[in-house]
Amino acid sequence: MIDLDDIKTIEQYDKSNQIDVMVNWYSYIKEAREESLKLDISTSFQWNKKKVDFRKPKNIVICGMGGSAIAGDYLSQLFKNDLSIPVIINREYDIPQFVDEDTLVICISYSGNTEETLSSFYKALLKEAMIISISSSGYLEAFSNQIGIPHIKIKEGLPPRTAFPLIYISLISILERFELINKMDQDINETEQLLQNLALEYSPEKTINDNISKQIALGLFNTLPVFIGHTFYSSIAYRAKSELNENSKILAVYEELPEQNHNGIVVVDNPNKTLNDTTFVFFRDREESKSIKVRIEETIKLISKETEKILEVYPKGKTKLAKQFSSTYLIDFVSIYLAILYEVDPSITPSIDTLKAQIKKKANIVDRLKGEINSKL
């Protein structure tokens, strides 16, 4: 088996230095905070001879795909009990019918060229909705600048999924600017400092005996990981599944409590199937409610009759934001170390690139959208 304490072996497979990117996440939090606070929403923009004014929205639709959309899930779950308006995450070409001039549509595409997001951007223009965009470059930035739509430009040259802190902190700042949530400075400062400390704990230089991210990667190796979350840990479980898909190039499953107790739990009832090759990972919190605590513990009791491969992951930090980030940070490192164990490059995604190329060749949606938007400028 690959030795995760061998730095040269890690460098051999991590050709794009994704671990280096992860080590610098704390600095991305500061960078995103500074840039997003410069956002000007005091003015209006014009498109197709119509003026759109910014005001306090009655609902929010966040449009994005993959690593760009997941920050919206984190946001909606973190502020679920604070926001007085609904937040919808839209992973489609179209947008909900209810979108109108009182809707804030936030379009996110790390590359700026994601066709589903560009399509949603165009549909939001047709609905005369308030629009804010986030990207590192691409058509989304270009169209926003041409039309006068507020745009947050984030750092270029990263694997899109590793740009998570840049996107998430930008989203939080947007909600603050519309006075939809309280100021998050203390929470963000705590998170930044926490990740700076954790970077040392999860770094390749820290040996397996003292590195929980390497230990978890070894525990998941050659198994089917099932990630189970609850409340604001549900989006973390989903991201964990996605990170193992993209970085580790393996199948992984995401479940959410209490829903999992109404369907997924019955896998333990099949006498003809074993769970020996499955590892269940529960995202926990020492402050979880009694109802969730009981559900998790009873679920673990049932599963433990079929397999000993059960992990419980607890967050670090005091605030919910810090807890979200610390759990995410851990699992992202795990996914990279797991990629090394499988002897694959965590950064490249050949099948996604092939799909995009074929879809572009056969559908050419972006070129059509360019024509539609430019004709009305």
Cβ-in-10-Å burial (0-12, 13-18, 19+) of 74 comes to: buried
Please give the Cα distance from 62 to 60 (Å, whole number). Answer: 6
Cβ-in-10-Å burial (0-12, 13-18, 19+) of 268 comes to: middle
Do 320 and 217 fall within a single domain?
Answer: yes
pLDDT at 341 over 90: yes
Do 150 and 263 fall within a single domain?
Answer: no
Higher pLDDT, 223 or 377: 223
Interval 152-165 mean pLDDT? 95
Bridge pairing between strands 310-313 and 278-283 = parallel
Supply the pLDDT for residue 286: 96
For the record, the structure tokens of 296 come out as 């998790």
Do 253 and 140 fall within a single domain?
Answer: no
Interval 362-375 mean pLDDT? 85
CB 55 within 8 A of CB 28: no
Do 56 and 80 fall within a single domain?
Answer: yes
Catalytic residue, from 8, 262, 301, 361: name it: 262
Do 45 and 101 fall within a single domain?
Answer: yes
The CB density around residue 151, as the number of other CB atoms within 10 Å, is 21
In a domain, 81, yes or no: yes
Q: Is 123 one of the catalytic residues?
A: no
CB 129 within 8 A of CB 99: yes
Residues 6 or more apart whose CB falls under 8 angstroms from that of 53 comprise 44, 130
Q: What is the DSSP letter of 260?
A: G
pLDDT at 377 over 80: no
Please give the Cα distance from 89 to 105 (Å, whole number). Answer: 10
HEC string of 275-315? CCCEEEEEECCCCCCHHHHHHHHHHHHHHHCCCCCEEEECC
Do 127 and 228 fall within a single domain?
Answer: no
pLDDT at 300 over 90: yes
Widest Cα–Cα separation across the chain: 66
Do 43 and 163 fall within a single domain?
Answer: yes
Do 130 and 205 fall within a single domain?
Answer: no
Supply the pLDDT for residue 309: 96
* Domain total of the chain: 2
Supply the pLDDT for residue 259: 98
Type of residue numbered 212: I
- For 243-277, the pLDDT digits (tens) are 999 999 999 999 999 999 999 999 999 988 889 89
Do 225 and 362 fall within a single domain?
Answer: no
CB 72 within 8 A of CB 103: no
In a domain, 20, yes or no: no
pLDDT at 147 over 90: yes
CATH number of the domain at 334, please.
3.40.50.10490
- Kind and range of the H or E element at 369? helix 365-375
CB 243 within 8 A of CB 162: no
CB 26 within 8 A of CB 192: yes
- For 130-139, the pLDDT digits (tens) are 999 999 999 9
pLDDT at 61 over 90: yes
Supply the pLDDT for residue 125: 96
Catalytic residue, from 316, 356, 360, 376: name it: 356
pLDDT above 90: percentage of residues in the chain: 90
pTM of this structure: 0.96
SS3 content of the chain, % helix, strand, coil (to 5): 55, 15, 35
Supply the pLDDT for residue 376: 79
In a domain, 102, yes or no: yes
In a domain, 60, yes or no: yes
Name the residue among 152, 186, 147 with its Cα closest to residue 168.
152
Interval 14-29 mean pLDDT? 96
- For 79-101, the pLDDT digits (tens) are 999 999 999 999 999 999 999 99
Q: Is 249 one of the catalytic residues?
A: no
Interval 22-44 mean pLDDT? 93
Catalytic residue, from 246, 255, 256, 288: name it: 246
CA 39 to chain centre: 22
User: End-to-end alpha-carbon separation of the chain, Å?
Assistant: 58
Interval 38-65 mean pLDDT? 92
CB 326 within 8 A of CB 317: yes
In a domain, 118, yes or no: yes
Do 273 and 149 fall within a single domain?
Answer: no
pLDDT at 232 over 80: yes
Do 282 and 332 fall within a single domain?
Answer: yes
Q: What angle do CA 330, 336, 342 make, to 5 degrees?
A: 135
Do 145 and 52 fall within a single domain?
Answer: yes
Cβ-in-10-Å burial (0-12, 13-18, 19+) of 1 comes to: exposed
In a domain, 323, yes or no: yes
In a domain, 21, yes or no: no
Interval 212-233 mean pLDDT? 98
Please give the Cα distance from 339 to 148 (Å, whole number). Answer: 42
Range of the domain at 172: 37-183+353-375
pLDDT-derived band at 367 (thresholds 50, 70, 90) equals confident
In a domain, 110, yes or no: yes
Q: What's the chain's average pLDDT?
A: 95
- For 304-335, the pLDDT digits (tens) are 999 999 999 999 999 999 999 999 999 999 99
Supply the pLDDT for residue 122: 96
Strand partners, 280: 226, 310
Q: Is 246 one of the catalytic residues?
A: yes
User: Computed over its alpha carbons, how large is the radius of gyration of the chain?
Assistant: 21
